[in-house]
Homo-oligomer: A and B are copies of this chain.
Amino acid sequence: MLKPRPAIRNLKEYRPPLAGRTGLRLDFNENTQGVSTRVLEKLRTIDAEQLTRYPEREPVETLIAGFLQLEPEQLLLTNGVDEAIQLLCHTYLDTGDRALVVVPTFAMYELLAASTGAEVIPVPAGSNFCFPLESLLHSLDSRTRLIAIANPNNPTGAVAPSDQLLLLARAAPQAAILIDEAYFEFFGQTVLNEIANLPNLFVARTFSKAYGMAGLRAGILAGPATQIRLLRKAASPYNVNAIALACLPEAMRDHQFVDRYVAEVRHGRARLQNLLADLGIPYWPSQANFVLAQFGGCASQFVAAMAQHNILVRDRSCDYGCAGCVRITLGTTEQMDRVLAVMKSILNELRNRERALA
């Protein structure tokens, strides 16, 4: 009988609700505006030859490294950040090792770490989902070989101060420290420039969020050159597709597109947070392109009512410590006008119904 490794047999399933996503998609933290016109123009130039050839990743890595003021040896392009996480787990984790993950957070850290056979230690976030530095330091031991931290965190929008992240990296030289900066652009703070100073610090970036290219699958893994060299060996030379490779430099060159979109998202974030405060709905101040709010017992009703108005938001009740929580991705100013109006009317109605029942 063919048996998988026990770690695979016991793996949880991650099935994001991808089917039937029509309407305003505020459920996956995608860019709600689209992509840079420069990317679309580049896409129009793709010819049969580019589809037919095996993709050549390295020249694009050199370009992207330049944009980020890194050496090409410090950077690996990946098939989305998912592959970056997978490569880190595969390279550093073995049965008997431990991975630390702050919860709640992005599901793939736990899933991919567990798939190696390592033990995943969930470290609960502090009050108001604050970064649990003390708990992380207490959880460290010689078996700790990976620590994955999303900063800003998903689904909470909370952030960790850079000095705490660096302190953690110094305290655990035996572990790979992944700071997943998928939402960096909406926050503005980074530890990317510390890579040269710390031999165990990795930073991930993505083209799926601010750049609006989730469909193209491209992530960046930056880290110490000696470690990136090893990760590169374990990756397929053809892991990133040719169209992503053609479009990435155009996306990075169009600062304006990202800057303008980020400004709109930040404006929408303030407006949404104000509305939630006005309505007395608890929320967590976010530094990302989404806000997590506490709808309590009516979370699923709220999500369903929003869907009836063709606005998709995501119930995060199943995440650690998130019972009753809904995550709302921020859109453009025009989109937020509608979202806020719809939310107001839905929440008033839900309250009136509650009162009538009381």
Could you list which residues of chain A lie within 8 angstroms of chain B, going by C-beta atoms?
A: 1-5, 8-9, 11-16, 18-19, 21, 25, 28, 30-31, 34-35, 39-40, 43-44, 46-56, 58, 79-80, 82-83, 86, 90-95, 108, 115, 117, 173-176, 199-200, 208, 212-217, 227, 230, 233-234, 236-244, 247
- Which chain B residues lie closer than 8 Å to A46 at the CB level? 43
Task: Identify 18 new A-B residue pairs, CB closer than 8 A, beyond the known A11-B233, A51-B215.
Answer: A1-B199, A2-B199, A2-B200, A2-B227, A3-B174, A28-B53, A30-B52, A30-B54, A40-B51, A43-B46, A50-B215, A51-B212, A52-B213, A53-B214, A79-B79, A94-B95, A216-B241, A241-B241
Question: In this complex, what residue of B is CB-closest to A48?
Answer: B34
A4 touches B52 (CB 8 A): no
A-B contact pairs, 29 of them (CB 8 A): A2-B174, A2-B200, A4-B227, A4-B230, A5-B94, A8-B233, A8-B234, A11-B230, A12-B233, A18-B237, A25-B53, A28-B53, A28-B54, A34-B49, A39-B51, A40-B47, A48-B212, A51-B212, A82-B236, A83-B236, A83-B239, A86-B236, A94-B117, A214-B238, A215-B241, A216-B241, A241-B241, A241-B243, A243-B243
Complex: A217 Cα to B83 Cα, angstroms: 14
A237 touches B14 (CB 8 A): yes
A175 to chain B, nearest CB (A): 7
Given the interface contacts A1-B199, A90-B115, A92-B5, does A54 sit within 8 Å of B234 by beta carbon? no
B215 touches A242 (CB 8 A): yes
- Which chain B residues lie closer than 8 Å to A174 at the CB level? 1-3
Given the interface contacts A2-B227, A4-B92, A199-B2, does A52 sit within 8 Å of B238 by beta carbon? no
4 tightest Cβ-Cβ pairs between the two chains A and B: A215-B242, A34-B48, A82-B236, A2-B200
Question: In this complex, what residue of B is CB-closest to A218?
Answer: B241
Complex: A13 Cα to B320 Cα, angstroms: 41
A18 to chain B, nearest CB (A): 5
Most buried by B among A82, A92, A200, A236: A236
| Contact among B14, B44, B54, B86 with A215 in the assembled complex (CB-CB below 8 Å) | B54
- Which chain B residues lie closer than 8 Å to A13 at the CB level? 233
Complex: A237 Cα to B208 Cα, angstroms: 14
B51 touches A82 (CB 8 A): no
- Which chain B residues lie closer than 8 Å to A34 at the CB level? 48-49, 51-52
| Contact among B1, B48, B83 with A40 in the assembled complex (CB-CB below 8 Å) | B48
Complex: A20 Cα to B30 Cα, angstroms: 36
Given the interface contacts A18-B54, A213-B51, A243-B215, does A8 sit within 8 Å of B83 by beta carbon? no
